Structure formats: C-alpha cells, structure tokens
Amino acid sequence: MKNKQTLYILNIVTAISVTMFFSCNDNLKEVQKMGISENEPIGVDYNINLKYTDSGRVTANLISTKTLDYSNRNFPFREFVDGVTLYIFDKDNKKNTIVANYAIVFTNTDLIEMRDNVVITTHDNKVLKTDQLFYDQKKEWLYTNYPVSFKTETDIINGNGFDSNSKFTNAEVLEVTGIITLED
C-alpha cells in the first residue's frame, strides 16, 4: 500500500515538474523590455562629436546636440532631434559639409533621412538646398522629390527632385523649374 502511495505521489510530482518545465519560455527579451515603453528611446546622447576613421585617417565627423536611440524597436533607428552637422573628408582631405535641422538613421536599411533646412556644401563650392533628402549608405546615393536649389560653378538650378551619387559627379536636378546663370 505504501509503495502505491509513493508511486502515486511520485507520478504527481513528475507530472507537475514536466508541466512546469515545458511551460517556461525564454522570455529574456521581454524581461529586458520591462520598464521601457516601446515609445520611449532606450538611450539619449547629448553633445555628440563622433569621428570616423579609416586606416588612421579621419573620414567623417558627426556633431549633434541630442540623439535618441530607438534600437529597442522592431525597426530600430537613431533620431537626431536638434539637428546634425556632418563633415565628410575624401582621400585628399577635401571637406564636404552636410547640415540639417533633423535627421533619422534607419539601422536595418542603412537609409538616412534629413529634414528641414538641409544644406550640402561640397569642397568645390557646389551647394544643394532642400527640405528633405535621403541618403542610401549602401549605394552611396542621394535623392529627394522635394523642391531643390542646386548651385554649381556656373548656375543655380531650381527644380522638384534631385538624384546624385555621393561625390556629386553625376548630380541631376529633376523637373527643372528655372536656371539662373551666374556671371564671373
């Protein structure tokens, strides 16, 4: 009789243990998210001055006063809410400057969106002005469908849209609305 009771209790304990074992999930990510709203950034950075280097040479310098890190999202991104200034240096140390009042970097797609008073000034004094500009980091391609003003050495070209590689060697203003020729 005692053996039957012991066996009965052992079966119950085994059943409960197996049930508990299989009902446990790996919820580490859920536990990590506790206390962090999906709408809140996981981090905030102030007064950023990042320098990117390649083989000991500075290739870019990013400056921003406030950055929000949303890498806790399903589609992670970093937001530069107070604007951004980016200096890009080529192999000859020639500087191109990009300024925008707002920028967002989408981590998974390597796409950067810049908004509000976007101004790009190249080392050879070409100037692009628009209110929205996208940069595809993988393809090294700039584009927008917003109105633009593009100043070259000889002209100021206004239009609705812009396409170019990152070196501006094939820059094209789309839907040209006007050209002003500059005098020497």
> Using one digit for the tens of pLDDT, what is the confidence trace for 141-179?
999 999 999 999 999 999 999 999 888 889 999 999 998
| Amino acid at the residue 79 | E
Q: What is the DSSP letter of 153?
A: S
Instruction: Quote the CA–CA distance of 175 and 178 in Å, as a whole number.
Output: 9
Tokens of 94: 């020639």
| Domain residue extents for the chain | 38-181
What's the pLDDT band for 133 if we cut at 50, 70, 90? very high
Instruction: Quote the CA–CA distance of 58 and 133 in Å, as a whole number.
Output: 24
**Can you give the pLDDT at residue 154?**
93
What's the pLDDT band for 37 if we cut at 50, 70, 90? low
Highest mean pLDDT (candidates 72-76, 94-98, 117-121): 117-121
**Can you give the pLDDT at residue 156?**
94
Q: Which CATH superfamily does the domain covering 38-181 fall into? A: Lipopolysaccharide (LPS) transport protein A like domain (2.60.450.10)
pLDDT tens sequence across 97-127:
999 999 999 989 988 899 999 999 999 999 9
